Amino acid sequence: MDLGFETMIYEKITSRRTIRKYTRKDISKSVFIRCVDAARLSPSSMNLQPLKYLIVNDQTLLEKVFSTLKWAGYLPDYQPSRDEMPRGYIIILLDKEIRKSYGVDPGIAAMSISMVACEEGLGSCILGAIDKPELRRILNIPESLEIVLVVALGYPAEKPIVDKLKDGDIKYWLDDAEVLHVPKRNLEDILKWNGYV
């Protein structure tokens, strides 16, 4: 058993943070393709594979897609500036002719995309607060495809840090240096063995 490989996966998953601010460096097409291919090969309920993926990296569309997204529910003013916008998006779509509801598949796909992006040195933000009618109009998405999630991608221009949860407050916050702090529940508070006692 290769313990180095297992440690690497664990470290990637536990160190990955949501990134909302990005540099102006472009993402290669091959990285987008690797992200979608990982999502394609991820687990799918009943192996129906009802998801489709729309990559947006055209400079004229990036700002239009950006305008359809909400970025930080607990910090409404904390979002990328025009210079910090993502350098690409992968829109996760449900093909309603294959399956009427999406279940867990989009979450699995979004995490696969995010982990491949992380491996490539990219940051990601999985977004569900979307002006779906406007995004559909901008990208000419047919009605047979339901917009489920948007994964924003780019090279990070910030370094959020994990904090211990204090007094049950899960809200992320900015310190005086504009560093984002993300509280996480303690492992011992969420883990039980062989029954819930």
| Pair of tokens at residue 183 | 């509280």
Domain 3-158 CATH class label: alpha beta
Amino acid at 12: K
pTM for the model: 0.93
The DSSP secondary structure of 76-125, one letter per residue, reads TT----GGG--SEEEEEEEETTT-SS-TTHHHHHHHHHHHHHHHTT-EEE
Degrees to nearest 5, angle at CA 5 with 9 and 117: 40
Task: Show me where the domains of the chain are located.
Answer: 3-158, 160-197
CA–CA separation, 189 and 39 (whole Å)? 31
* Per-residue pLDDT tens digits of the chain, which is 197 residues long: 555 556 688 888 999 999 999 999 999 999 999 999 999 999 999 999 999 999 999 999 999 999 999 999 899 888 899 999 999 999 999 999 999 888 999 999 999 999 999 999 999 999 999 999 999 999 999 999 999 999 999 999 999 999 988 888 999 999 999 999 999 999 998 999 999 87
Taking a C-beta distance cutoff of 8 angstroms, is the pair 27, 59 a contact?
no
Q: What are the φ and ψ backbone dihedral angles of 43, each rounded to 5 degrees?
A: -55, 145
**CATH code that applies to domain 160-197:** 2.20.180.10
